[in-house]
Amino acid sequence: MRSGRANEDGTVQYVFSVPGISCGRCISTIETALAPLDGVVSARVNLTMRRVTVILDAADRSPLAVSDALKRLGYGAIPVDIGDLDDLSRQRESAGLLKALAVAGFAAGNIMLLSVSVWSGADAATRDMFHLVSGLIALPTVAYSGQVFFRSAFGALRAGRLNMDVPISLAVVLALAMSVFESLTGGAEAYFDAAVTLLFFLLIGRYLDQRMRERARTAVTGLSRLAVKGATRIEGGEPSYVPLDEVRPGMILRVAAGERVPVDGLVVRGTSDLDRSLVTGESAPLATSIGDRLEAGTLNLSGSIDIEALETAENSFLAEIIRMMEAAEKGRGRYVRVADRLARIYAPAVHILAAATFVGWMVATGGDWYSATYAAIAVLIITCPCALGLAVPVVHVIGAARLFENGILMKDGSALERLAEADHAVFDKTGTLTTGVPRVTASDIAGDAAAAARALAAHSAHPASRAILAFLPAGEARSLSAVHEVPGCGVEGEIDGRRARLGRADWAGAIASGTGSPGARSGGVAFALEGGHLFGFELAETLRDDAAGAIDELKADGLAVEVLSGDAVDPVARIAGELGVAAMASGQTPGMKIERLQSLQAGGAKVFMIGDGLNDAPSLAAGDVSMAPASACDAGRLAADFVFTRDSLLAVPFAHRIAVKARRLVQENFALAILYNCIAVPLAMAGYITPLVAAIAMSASSIVVVANSLRLARGGKSGRRTQGAIAPRTGLRSARLVREGVA
């Protein structure tokens, strides 16, 4: 059963998708049947969505009784993740924001056409008519498109605080009210264009920001999907299904090939190959046999095995990984973006200035509220909420586009700010610094034996077999029979009546007559024909393209670099040595990686984590900012802030350099907006600027900010080769990208 949402009063909410709901009678039937169930606080049916929402009185209540009751009524019920509903809600919010932007843009264009006619010297009757028509367009537009700001402002005021939407809402409402008054009394000026244009520009910034935030998705949900919903229990020799939350220590559970281990357990029967990348980060399958301890979430690849449960699901390794992910994501969520920090100062400052203007004019004019309101509205409009609102999201969107054209996807705008602050880069090894695909570096095999080994390798999907297949030259095909894979050992067949084995050295050596080559004796991959010689294959990992260059560029940019890996010390030391990285650690579990990152952060470091495996997901979330290759597992990609889609590791320093330049442009945008306000606000307070002029000046300041942000889309000349190295392999733009760099 999928998880529910805990409420503040201790109750828990579950949602079921019930496709069979079709009419009002279904609503009555379901709600009446569920209400008397023990622990059910309420049950509500949504006919449109065909969903049933049930609230239970305590967290330890199982929702299975509700599911069973629905089935007894004849309705198939499918549990729905609350996270899925949250995703749907976010999608609707984004769609609503886009509609509001479209409405505001359409209205602003039409009102501006009418305003141009008025500014061109229309007579009084035509002016009054155009003002009224503009009002008829502006009023419903503001009522619809302004809801985004009005709801936020009202919520802030109700909570006794201020945010940037409060002065925005106040400026729009006052400008609209003043315009209606002017239109109804035959006044010469109306500011419908100012109010709607203000909304339009602000909605652009809000929508861009929303799109960037939507790219950030929790990795906890993706990691949770590794947990099975139940397990096959073996009792009295008979298999039976048991829900995951009912698994208890001591139960014997069967894990078939292709299934994940449900809880931590001990192998009591069978042998197999396992994918333990969740634990070690190493993608190469590992053999397991009786007596081995397995972690929840480990993938069984080849043979069926029986395990004795050692822990409940709540105390399993996978559950601990998910808890670490949640804790790490909460820590990152406390980061306050530049725009949010500025908003704390901006909102009260605007209100103080507008209030001071109103009071000052009331005193100076002897109580002329019209002139005082007129000046206060000009101050509210000219204080440039658009420029401030666009300063960050426009840079982030342009930065995201620049990264995208170079094969890097950015999920969250705040990540660009965090990446610019990074001073310490931490790399995983397998799948990150290396491709995760082994290659054969040496072998003493030749002749007929090589052809036989190649024939066996062609019948296996094991990474080592694929590497051997790529290493051995194609020659005369050997005829094989009785080919089968032995879980945890390798692949076996018959050639001319003799057994042939390719796999673990000790297993293959059991049919050989000699001790074999040094490579075979070292415990690696070996091949043997029955009664013949034992041949070994030395395997090594392949570094990613430009890995050394990427490390050098990060060092040149002032970042300290180290390697953390779950692999053994020798391969980690070899890779670190090739890359010139002195700081390294091997045998790292997910918890140990997080401890290291926290240790660096406690010392004041801003950590840039680069990894790919399931075991890296918690540390990717724990880093101040993170990046993963597109070949990473789902949980790794979801946990990372950036994903690079090409083989070259030069994407890492390139993204960092873009982030640094983006931070500089954001700072320049804020400086331009502040300089503009320092000049324009005193003039507005003194009455030299009307609301209409204020609206035009506000729009001009926004254009200046956007133009400055567009500098991020241009590359200045640089001696560095980052962009050229990660340019698209199609070559369509490679010549241009090679010439470009990051200023």
SS3 percent helix, strand, coil of the chain, rounded to 5, is 50, 20, 30
Which residue in 403, 432, 373, 12 sits closest to 175, CA to CA? Answer: 373
The C-alpha atoms of residue 611 and residue 607 are separated, in whole angstroms, by 13
Bin 293: left if φ > 0, else alpha if -120 < ψ < 50, else beta: beta
Helix (H) or strand (E) holding 434: strand 434-443
The C-alpha atoms of residue 405 and residue 713 are separated, in whole angstroms, by 10
The C-alpha atoms of residue 329 and residue 327 are separated, in whole angstroms, by 6
Distances (CA, A) of 22 to 17, 52, 78, 437, 516: 13, 13, 16, 52, 72
Q: Tell me if residue 60 is catalytic.
A: no
Specify the amino acid at residue 122.
A
Assess contact for 88 and 40: CB atoms under 8 A: no
Assess contact for 664 and 709: CB atoms under 8 A: no
Contacts of 644 by beta carbon, 8 Å cutoff, 6+ apart? 407, 408, 409, 627, 628, 629, 630, 651, 652, 655, 726
The C-alpha atoms of residue 383 and residue 389 are separated, in whole angstroms, by 11
Q: Which of 128, 193, 209, 428 is catalytic?
A: 428
Determine whether 726 is exposed, middle or buried from the number of CB atoms within 10 Å of its CB (0-12, 13-18, 19+).
Answer: buried
By DSSP bridging, strand 12-17 and strand 5-6 are antiparallel
Q: Which long-range contacts (CB under 8 A, 24 or more apart) does 91-96 make?
A: 93/210, 94/207, 94/210, 94/211, 94/214
- Helix/strand/coil for 338: helix
The C-alpha atoms of residue 281 and residue 308 are separated, in whole angstroms, by 25
Structure tokens at 122: 């229309």
CB count in 10 Å sphere of residue 301:
20
Specify the amino acid at residue 214.
E
Contacts of 523 by beta carbon, 8 Å cutoff, 6+ apart? 504, 505, 506
Contacts of 27 by beta carbon, 8 Å cutoff, 6+ apart? 21, 45, 47
Strand order from edge to edge, sheet including 642-644: 408-410, 642-644, 625-629, 607-610, 424-427, 560-564, 583-585
- DSSP output for 198-247: HHHHHHHHHHHHHHHHHT---HHHHHHTTS-SEEEEEETTEEEEEEGGG-
Assess contact for 399 and 710: CB atoms under 8 A: no
The C-alpha atoms of residue 347 and residue 359 are separated, in whole angstroms, by 18
The C-alpha atoms of residue 622 and residue 602 are separated, in whole angstroms, by 13
CB count in 10 Å sphere of residue 418:
21
Q: Residues of 205-244 as b/e, b for ≥16 C-beta within 10 angstroms? A: bbbbbbbbbeebbbbbbbbbebbbeebbbbeeeeeeebeb
The C-alpha atoms of residue 522 and residue 505 are separated, in whole angstroms, by 8
The C-alpha atoms of residue 467 and residue 524 are separated, in whole angstroms, by 13
Distances (CA, A) of 645 to 219, 224, 406, 651: 19, 25, 9, 9
CB count in 10 Å sphere of residue 570:
9
Structure tokens at 152: 């936020």
Structure tokens at 402: 């620049």
The C-alpha atoms of residue 435 and residue 543 are separated, in whole angstroms, by 6
User: Active-site positions?
Assistant: 428
